[in-house]
């Protein structure tokens, strides 16, 4: 049957169940698009882990998707080229013996305040504070300061004790009023003071932090590369050495390193915690589902690959089980809902609001990868995951389909159905493919979305 070719889509007659995507046309369109993006380097030349995770991760995933759909080793070459560059930018600034990637973007500024051995009983508070506001926490110097009533009880000055510079002088004292001279913090002293009273404020400035979620975003597609090469004898001559080098690097610098922050939750499962670093926003708390899940996908892929750390399979199963145990059944729609984050702190369980659609694609990806490999998630589970999109989050408009902002919402429709990993639910529900295809066509079949759309079609059986 012949049809009209438009933007890489062959429009068939009404008798055809599917509109057929032209794989070669769309792959070529993406190749041209990719080569124009930073001369084909994507974000692989950037050392900041945030750029690598949220920028480069999606690009390498595109390559992995196109390899799955086309079988063209060009896309494996792209993965190898990019990851060699990423490895070259890994460093060890904390001298812990492991190479990794850092960013200060999500760090914090910290202040400890205390009264010294003063004559008065005046108090300073808060004793501890953490500033997480972007545009503010970078103002922190990491210095120690003195707030002192040098000459009287009515006026104080603030001195940077590291440099001995007076940064505020002649400040009129009002009990309980905020003191803002030590940026970016707010402090207050309350009570009657005495001449000679001093209060010390020690600050810790933002510092580079290593984020597991950033690692997971680009390690996962590299794991797919390793699996493909090691499982396909025809690829060994061209890519075998790369696969061995990449796996050895990941075993040592990603898996072994993250083991230091492993949290075993018994029957509930397990996950990675944030580092015990005071400038981390949530030191030692278990990570949100999307953050540990990003890397859990890689361990699912590598679990049975020769040469991978034998503990990977266990860790993957534990993280998948943890996520599955926190899913909440929406009985009305036979769908799943889940929070962005569930935790236990100081013996008490807690949770955030419902997961947002953007971060949720990583959670869905974890479930998809687990179900396709027979780990914890069943087909019944995945039908419910598809129902989350189609019965809860879809705006109900087949001509202009949109998704809600959160997994338990039926409002605030902003997200396109052509969304990585949400689209992969087409394997369990035909409607997911139909809506994604409609949105893709309506947007003009953009080259940048071709890999996501092609995988959506492949998983639906439409290719």
pLDDT of the residue at 154: 95
pLDDT of the residue at 28: 97
Residue 449 burial (CB count, 10 A): 24
The proportion of the chain whose per-residue pLDDT surpasses 70, expressed as a percent, equals: 96
Residue 438 contacts residue 23 (beta carbons within 8 Å): no
pLDDT of the residue at 14: 30
Q: Which of 370, 248, 219 is nearest to 309 (CA)?
A: 248
Residue 417 Cα distances to 357, 364, 407, 453, angstroms = 10, 13, 13, 10
Give the pLDDT mean for 189-207: 97
Sheet with 109-115: list strands edge to edge: 128-131, 109-115, 198-204, 144-148, 155-160, 165-172
pTM: 0.92
Q: Which of 356, 368, 215 is nearest to 294 (CA)?
A: 215
Q: Is 381 exposed, middle or buried (0-12, 13-18, 19+ CB in 10 A)?
A: middle
pLDDT of the residue at 7: 41
pLDDT of the residue at 411: 85
Does residue 298 surpass a pLDDT of 90? yes
First to last CA, the chain: 15
pLDDT of the residue at 173: 98
Given CATH 1.50.10, say whether it is the number of domain 4-103+210-460: yes
Q: What tens digit of pLDDT does each residue of 9-28 get? A: 433 333 234 457 999 999 99
Tokens of 219: 């390690």
Does residue 390 surpass a pLDDT of 50? yes
Q: According to CATH, where is 1.50.10 located in the chain?
A: 4-103+210-460
pLDDT of the residue at 19: 55
Tokens of 337: 């809902």
Does residue 213 surpass a pLDDT of 60? yes
- Please give the mean pLDDT across all residues of the chain: 94
b/e per residue, 188-204, with b = 16+ CB within 10 A? ebeeebeeebebbbebb
Give the pLDDT mean for 397-401: 95
pLDDT of the residue at 20: 74
SS3 88: helix
Query: Token match 């009990």: residue?
Result: 175
Give one DSSP letter per residue of 205-262, joined into a string. Answer: ----B--HHHHHHHHHHHHHHHHHHHT-GGGHHHHHHHHHHHHHHHIIIIIIHHGGGE
The Cα–Cα gap between 382 and 459 comes to: 13
Beta bridge partners of 123: 190
Q: What tens digit of pLDDT does each residue of 234-278 get? A: 999 999 999 999 999 999 999 999 999 999 999 999 999 999 999
Give the pLDDT mean for 114-132: 97
């Amino acid at each position: 049957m012949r049809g009209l070719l438009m933007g890489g889509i062959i429009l068939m007659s009404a008798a055809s169940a599917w509109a057929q995507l032209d794989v070669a046309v769309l792959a070529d369109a993406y190749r041209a698009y990719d080569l124009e993006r930073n001369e084909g380097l994507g974000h692989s030349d950037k050392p900041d882990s945030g750029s690598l995770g949220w920028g480069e991760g999606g690009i390498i995933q595109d390559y992995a998707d196109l390899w799955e759909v086309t079988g063209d080793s060009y896309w494996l070459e792209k993965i190898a080229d990019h990851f060699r560059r990423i490895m070259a930018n890994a460093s060890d600034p904390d001298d812990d013996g492991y190479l990794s990637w850092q960013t200060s973007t999500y760090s914090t500024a910290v202040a400890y305040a205390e009264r010294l051995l003063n004559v008065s009983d005046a108090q300073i508070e808060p004793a501890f504070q953490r500033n997480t506001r972007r545009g503010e926490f970078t103002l922190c110097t990491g210095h120690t300061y003195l707030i002192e009533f040098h000459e009287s009880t009515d006026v104080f000055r603030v001195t940077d004790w590291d440099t001995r510079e007076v940064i505020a002088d002649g400040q009129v004292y009002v009990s309980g009023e905020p003191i803002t001279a030590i940026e970016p913090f707010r402090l207050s002293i309350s009570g009657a003071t005495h001449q000679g009273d001093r209060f010390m404020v020690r600050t810790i400035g933002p510092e580079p932090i290593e984020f597991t979620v950033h690692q997971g975003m680009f390690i996962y597609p590299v794991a797919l590369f390793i699996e493909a090469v090691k499982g396909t004898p025809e690829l060994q001559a061209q890519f075998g050495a790369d696969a061995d080098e990449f796996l050895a690097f990941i075993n040592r610098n990603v898996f072994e390193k993250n083991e230091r922050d492993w949290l075993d939750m018994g029957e509930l499962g397990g996950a990675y915690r944030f580092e015990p670093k005071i400038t981390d926003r949530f030191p030692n708390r278990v990570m949100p589902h999307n953050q540990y899940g990003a890397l859990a996908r890689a361990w699912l892929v590598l679990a049975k690959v020769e040469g991978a750390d034998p503990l990977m399979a266990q860790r993957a199963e534990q993280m998948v089980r943890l996520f599955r145990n926190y899913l909440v059944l929406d009985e009305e729609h036979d769908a799943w809902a889940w929070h962005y984050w569930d935790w236990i702190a100081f013996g008490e369980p807690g949770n955030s609001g419902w997961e947002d659609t953007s971060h949720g694609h990583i959670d869905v990806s974890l479930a998809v990868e687990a179900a396709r490999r027979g780990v914890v998630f069943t087909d019944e589970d995945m039908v419910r995951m598809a129902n989350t999109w189609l019965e809860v989050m879809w705006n109900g408009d087949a001509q202009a389909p949109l998704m809600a902002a959160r997994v338990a919402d039926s409002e605030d429709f902003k997200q396109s159905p052509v969304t990585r990993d949400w689209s992969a639910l087409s394997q369990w529900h035909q409607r997911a493919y139909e809506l994604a295809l409609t949105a893709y066509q309506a947007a003009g079949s953009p080259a940048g979305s071709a890999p996501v759309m092609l995988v959506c079609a492949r998983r639906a059986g439409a290719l």
